[in-house]
Structure 1
Amino acid sequence: MLKKGSKRGSSSTGRRTFYEENSLHKFNRIKKTNLPADNDGDFFNTRNSQDQVVTPSNSSSPYNIVSPVEKSPWSSQRITDIPSEDNDDNFSPNVLMGSLVREEGHIYSLAASGDLLYTGSDSKNIRVWKNQKEFPGFKSNSGLVKAIVISGATIFTGHQDGKIRVWKVSSKDPSIHKRVGTLPTMRDCFNNSMKTSNYFEVKRHKNAVWYKHGDAISCLSLSEDKTFLYSSSWDKTFKVWRISNSRCLESVISHDDAVNSIVAGNDGLVFTGSADGTVKVWRRELQGTGTKHFFSQTLLKQECAVTAVAVNPNATVVYCGSSDGLVNFWEREKHMSHGGVLRGHKLAILCLVTAGSLLFSGSADMGICVWRRMGNDHVCLSLLAGHNGPVKCLAAEKDHESSPNERRWILYSGSLDKSVKMWRVSENAPPMAWRGCASSAPTSIPSSLPAATSFPAQITRNINDIRN
C-alpha cells in the first residue's frame, strides 16, 4: 500500500530478460487507487504494473487452472558451497541457501506450508514450489496478488481488485489447484445489492456495499481455530468471513486511513495497523450465528504509517513495523504494556513474521533483521543481505533437518527485485551485538547494510532467452 517509484524493464521482441533493480523506493507516503467495478472473469490491470502473462495450458478450464511449465520464467539457483560447522572455524548457522529468480514481476506475497511455497506477484500467476522445484501453479484474472494464506488444502488469495479467491488442492492430483469460489460470493452480491441499507459511504460521493471491499486488499489472516478469515483493505475496513459457508459476517470501519495489516491472536483478539499511524486491538464475541468485534484499545498512535503487524506463536508478544524503520512491541503478559523499540533498519519496515523465539523484519533498505527474544529483551542475531530491492514479504517454515539440540528455520523472502531467496536461520546463532540491536539500548545505524560475516550475500542473476 506504500507508494513506490520503481522503473520497469522493457522486453525486446522474441525474448524477455531478467534484471534486478537498484532504485530505492520511498514508502512513507500512501498510495490510493480508484478501482473500477469488474466481473470476476475480466482481466484487472493495476495502474503501475506491467503484466507478462504465461499462456494458460488449458484456458477453457472453468477453474482457471494453469500449469506454466513450457514457458516458465523461473530459475531455481541453489547454493552448494554453504560452509559447514566441520570445515569452517567461523561457521554461522544463518546462511543464504538459494534463490528463485523470476521475470514476471515484483514479489508481493508468500505463503509456506510444509514443502510447498506459494508466491504471488503483480502478474496474474500464483507460482507453487515443491522442495524448491517448480510445481504446477495456477492463475487468477485479477492481476496483483497482495496476500496468500493457507488452511489445510484450501488457499485464500487477496487481490488488488478487493476480492478474495478461494482455491482447493485436488484430492486426486495434488499438482492441480481448483478455484472453488470468490469472496464475496455471487449469491451474496445478488441478494444484497438491491437493498439501500447495505450501502455505506467509502469516499466522497462514492458508496459501496458493506460486505465487499471497496479498495485493494492489503492482508489476510486466519483465526486461531481457522474458523474465520480476516481481510484488511485500503478502504479503511476489515471484514470477517466464515470459512465454512463463505459468508461475510461483519465489516468494521476500523481506522481513519488504509488498513495495512491485520493479524488474529489467541482468545479472540485481533490486531490492526493502519496508515493513520495507529495499532488497534479488537475483541471478538460470538452473537448467535454471527460475530461482533468490539474496539478494545489503541496500542500506538504516531504520525508515520504502520506498515506491518505480527504476533509470536503463542500470541504473548505483539509487534508492529512502521514507515520510519522502527519495530515496536507489546507484552500481553504485562497487560499489553509497551516493551520497547527495535532499531535495525534505515528505511520503512515492509513485512514482519515470527517463528519460535525469532522475529524477522524485512525493509525497504533491502535487508532482513533476525531478532531473538531473550527474556524481556531482543537481540539481533543476523542482518541478512542479498536482495537488490526492497523486501516486501516473508514466510518461515521449520527446518526438518535440524538437530534436536538446535531449532532451525527456513526463511523465504520476496522482494521487488523479482526474486525469492531462501535462508537457513538458527535460534542458536550468536548475536551480532548484545547491546547494539537490543530494544533497551538503541544505537546508530551503520552507513551501509553489511551481510553477516560468514554467509554468502551474492546476488544471483539469471538471463533467460524465452522465445514467444
Structure 2
Amino acid sequence: MDIETVERCGNKRLHHRVSSQAEPDRTNYNVCFNWRAGRCNRFHCPYLHSKLRQPSDGFTSKWAASGNNGGFHSQGLIRRNSNSSSKPGPASRWGKGHQGAVSGISKPRKIQDKICHYFVGGTCSYGENCRFLHSWFVSDSISLLTPLKGHQKGVAGFALPAGSDKLYTGSKDESVRLWDCQTGQCAGVINLGGEVGCMIDEGPWIFVGIPNAIKAWNTQSASDLSLSGPTGQVYAMAVGNEMLFAGTEDGRILAWKFIAVGNCFEPAASLIGHQLAVVSLVVGAMRLYSGSMDHSIRVWDICTLHCIQTLTDHTSVVMSVLCWDQFLLSCSLDMTIKVWVATKTGNVEVVYTHNEEQGVLALCGMHDAQNKPVLFSSCNDNTVRLYDLPSFSERGKIYSKQDVRAIQAGPGGLFFTGDGTGEIKVWKWLTKVPAVSSA
C-alpha cells in the first residue's frame, strides 16, 4: 500500500513516493504518470520520478514500549512564577508563530489542501488525476498505520489500562471493543445496553459512562462494578485525589472515593452549580475544571469540593478542557480555543484566544517524536488541526469521514483517532522528516 504525504510548492501539490533510486534535480514538479504506472522509458524524463521514504508500518511491534509518554502532563493551572523551570514560556509567547496576530486574536497560517469528497466516499473516478486531495492527512510529522473497523456508530473514548496489551474503545453503538495490539484484530466485544458517552482509564481500571450509570472494570483482578447515581448520560470523567468525578446530563458533577481495602468506590459528593449538562472535565494542581453546555467553566477546589471561580468568556458550549503545565486550554462551539493562566491573586484569566473557522469539538495534547508539545484541535468540519505550542503554528491536518470526538495518545509514538462513523485510525509520529533524494 502506498502512503503519500503532500508538500506545498507554490499552488501545486507534490506527491512523493518511495524510491530506491536517486533522482536528478528537476524543475518540473508534475509527477510522471508513466513512471507511476511503471512504464516510463525516457532517460531524461522532464517529470518527477520520486517517492517518500516508507514509514515503518503495523500496529504490531509498536506496542512494545510501555507507558503513555505521548500525552500532556496534567499538572494543571498554577500561579505564574518567574523562577519556575517547568513552565514552557511566558504568557506573552502565545500565538507568536502567527503573522498578523492582533489583540490576542490569531490569524494562523492555513493548510489549504482540500480533500476530495468523492475520495472520502470511495467513489472518485478521477483517481490520481483528481485535483483534490486523496489522502487522510497533510503533514510531514505523522503516518497512518492502519484503520480499525468494527464499531457501527461514533467512537466516544479510548482506554489503555496499565499492564494490558489491549486497546479498549467505547462507542455510541452501546459496546466496548478490545483490540489485540499485536495483530490489530478485534479480540472481544462487551455489550453495555446504553450509549457510551465517555471512557477513561486510571492504572488497571477502565471507567465507561453510559446513561444513568458508570461501568468500571479492573483489568488485573477481573472485577467489575456498576456505579449508580448519575441522571441521564455521563458525558465526561476525570480522576484526582483518589476520587472519580463524572459530569452528567443534569448539570451535576458526582464524586466517588476509592476505598483500597475493599477495592471499591463509595459516593463522596455531588457538585452543583452548572445549569446545563457537564460535557468536559480535567484535574490539575488540586483543581477540578468543568466545561458545560451553559457556556461556562467552573473551577473547583479538589479538597473542599467548593466552586472557587466561574469563567464566562466562552459564548457557546465548552466542549473540552485541557491542562498543560501552568496553563488551562479550553475549546468551544463558539469557534475559539482559549488559553488561561492564574494571576497573582489566584483568579484565572484568558491570556490568549485562538480563532478557528469552525466550532471546536475536542482538544488533545501530546508530544511528537522530538518531544515538542503539539495540540490537536478537532473541528466540526470533519478535520483535526495540529498546532505547535505555544506558537499555534499549524503543522498538519487530519481528515475523517465524520467529526472526530475521541483522540488519545499511546505508547511508542502511537496515537489514535475515532470518528462519527465508528472508524478508528492508528497513527505514528515520524522520527525523521521525509525528504526527496537527489543526485
Is TM > 0.5 for Structure 1 vs Structure 2? yes
CA offset digits 1:119-145 (Å, max 9, x no partner):
xxxxxxx99x99333222221232311
Out of 270, 295, 298, the position equivalent to 2:244 is 270
Partner of 2:226: 251
How far the C-alpha of 1:232 sits from its partner, in A, is 0.6
Distance of aligned partners of 1:248 and 1:418 in 2 relative to their CA distance in 1, 3 Å threshold: farther
Distance of aligned partners of 1:395 and 1:340 in 2 relative to their CA distance in 1, 3 Å threshold: same
How far the C-alpha of 1:95 sits from its partner, in A, is 8.6
Stretches of structure 1 that go unaligned for 5 or more consecutive residues are 1-62, 64-82, 105-125, 171-175, 185-211, 403-407, 430-454
* Alpha-carbon contact 1:96-1:424 (below 8 Å) kept: no
How far the C-alpha of 1:280 sits from its partner, in A, is 1.6
How far the C-alpha of 1:248 sits from its partner, in A, is 5.4
Q: Which amino acid aligns with 1:392?
A: L
1:63-462 alignment runs, 5 A limit: 131-151=141-161, 154-170=166-182, 177-182=184-189, 184=190, 213-223=192-202, 226-233=203-210, 235-244=211-220, 247=222, 249-267=224-242, 269-288=243-262, 291-312=263-284, 314=285, 316-332=286-302, 335-374=304-343, 376-388=346-358, 390-398=359-367, 409-426=373-390
How far the C-alpha of 1:147 sits from its partner, in A, is 1.3
Distance of aligned partners of 1:155 and 1:340 in 2 relative to their CA distance in 1, 3 Å threshold: same
Using CA pairs below 8 Å that are at least 6 residues apart, which structure has the higher relative contact order?
Answer: 2
CA offset digits 1:323-379 (Å, max 9, x no partner):
12110011235x233220122211111122222222221211122112223452223
How far the C-alpha of 1:238 sits from its partner, in A, is 0.6
Greater radius of gyration (CA): 2
CA offset digits 1:397-416 (Å, max 9, x no partner):
146757xxxxx731101122
Partner of 1:48: none
4+ runs of 1 displaced by more than 3 Å?
87-92, 94-104, 149-154, 398-402, 455-462
1: CA distance, partners of 2:274 / 2:170: 28
* Alpha-carbon contact 1:101-1:419 (below 8 Å) kept: no
* Alpha-carbon contact 2:387-2:393 (below 8 Å) kept: no
Q: Which amino acid aligns with 1:278?
A: R
Partner of 2:15: none
How far the C-alpha of 1:216 sits from its partner, in A, is 0.8
* Alpha-carbon contact 1:385-1:457 (below 8 Å) kept: no
CA offset digits 1:99-132 (Å, max 9, x no partner):
697689xxxxxxxxxxxxxxxxxxxxx99x9933
Question: Any idea what SS the aligned residue of 1:140 has?
Answer: coil
How far the C-alpha of 1:457 sits from its partner, in A, is 8.8
Partner of 1:405: none
Stretches of structure 2 that go unaligned for 5 or more consecutive residues are 1-58, 60-94, 118-135, 402-439
2: CA distance, partners of 1:254 / 1:178: 35
CA RMSD of aligned residues (A): 4.1
* Alpha-carbon contact 1:102-1:418 (below 8 Å) kept: no
How far the C-alpha of 1:90 sits from its partner, in A, is 8.9
* Alpha-carbon contact 2:384-2:398 (below 8 Å) kept: no
* Alpha-carbon contact 2:249-2:276 (below 8 Å) kept: yes
